[in-house]
Every structure is written in structure tokens, then in C-alpha cells.
Structure 1
Amino acid sequence: MSKVDSVAEPTIPTTPLTGKALLQKVKELSHLAKRETATQCGYVKTTKAGVTRTDLSGFYDAVLTAKGVKLDETSRDNRGKTATYKATVHKNGQLLIGAAYTKEMGLKEGDTFSIKLGYKHIHLVQDN
């Protein structure tokens, strides 16, 4: 007769672990893959279709926070483009200035400018 060892399934917390408890659990589960460690620490999300996915981003953020690493909250998940302060002349010869620049300058629809050409630059002087 063979004896079958029953392996208990680890319970996944209903709320994600944070702080010292998270760091302790990560240390205990160091032998597992990152995705499995995140799942065992409660970092899972269920989609609208009912599919369960591991929230690695939330897990990594929580680990960094637990270790005392502070990230700039204003740049987190900011998926928009950032202004590069450069412009390119298009094939048709037009120069387009993006909305990020006009917003930063507080410009409104209908504002007019005079164009002053320099040796290697263009100045836009706002008309009064």
C-alpha cells in the first residue's frame, strides 16, 4: 500500500500583504517564481471576463514601499507623452507646435504671434 501525502494548497490572502508582513512572505517564498510569489502575497486581479491575473506592478510597488523606497507619485502611470521641446518640419513645410507647449504657456484659442526669424532660430512673439 502506498501512502499519499496530501499537500495543502497555500491560501491566497483576500487583501494584498503590505509592509513587514509582505517582506517576510517574500523571503519565505524566495524559492518560487516572481509571479507565483506575487500571487501568494495576494496581488491578483480578476478581469471583467472573470479571468484571474497576477498584479506584478502592484506587487513591485508594494515591495518597494515596504523597503522604504519612495517613487515620484506624479509620474506613476502617466502614460501621456512628455514635452521634448523640439519640433519637426513636416513634408509640406509646416511646423507644428504641440498642445503641451501651448498649455504650459497658458495660451488660448485665437492668440496671435509675430514670427521673427533669426540666424538659426525662430522667435514667436505674442501680439498684444
Structure 2
Amino acid sequence: MATKSEPLTGSDLLNKVKDLNNLSAEAKAKKCGYFTVTKDGAERVSMMKFMNALLDAEGVELDSKSSNGNGRGGRSASYRISVQANGNLLIGSTYTERMDLKPGDEFEVSLGRKHIHLKQISEDDE
């Protein structure tokens, strides 16, 4: 029987789950402290609490908590993009709004070994 301790959260939880990648989800939850011991000594794994803690640790908001008051939650920026089927990279409006970019703004693209740098070309540079 495992000893009950405070369940892991945040980056500690994410690191532990990565270390336990060869175990089942239930075993991971148990090793991370997401279980209770019943009166008769049986262990009950709390999968829902474990999954919610993982989502919180990853920064995923399931409940829309709008801070701007207009009732629109939307997704939060993940700072990751994927290559589309047509080979294009689409940078979403969240990023362009944060950078105050306007239609027609131009960038210089420089390719690294494992990265792409975008350097905004200002009117002064031309």
C-alpha cells in the first residue's frame, strides 16, 4: 500500500508524469499522489483530479473566464504553430494583436537549424 502525501501540481507534476511515461494513466495518477484510502484500506485513484491538475499545469483553461467583460473567452496563446497542409505557417491574430501588427507589415525571414526568426522591417529600414 502506498503512503498518502500531498498531490503534485504544476511543473513538478509535469516532470513526474514525463518520468513515468511507461506506466498507465492510473498508475501515474497514483504515483503523483492522486488517490485516497478508503475506510477499509483500499486505494481509490482520483483520475478526474489528476487530469484537471495536468490541464492546470499545462495552462489549459476549460472554463471561459473573460477578463475583458464582453463574454468572449477564446483560446490562450500557446506560442506554437504547425505547418498547414499547403506548406504555409499561419500566425494567429492573438500574436499579431499583441505585437500591434497591421495588414501589410513586412518581415525579413532568417532560417536557423531548428528555428525561424522574423525581423520586422520598419519604414526606416527601407
TM, length-normalised to structure 1: 0.45
If you compute each CA radius of gyration, which structure gives the higher value, 1 or 2? 1
TM-score (norm 2): 0.46
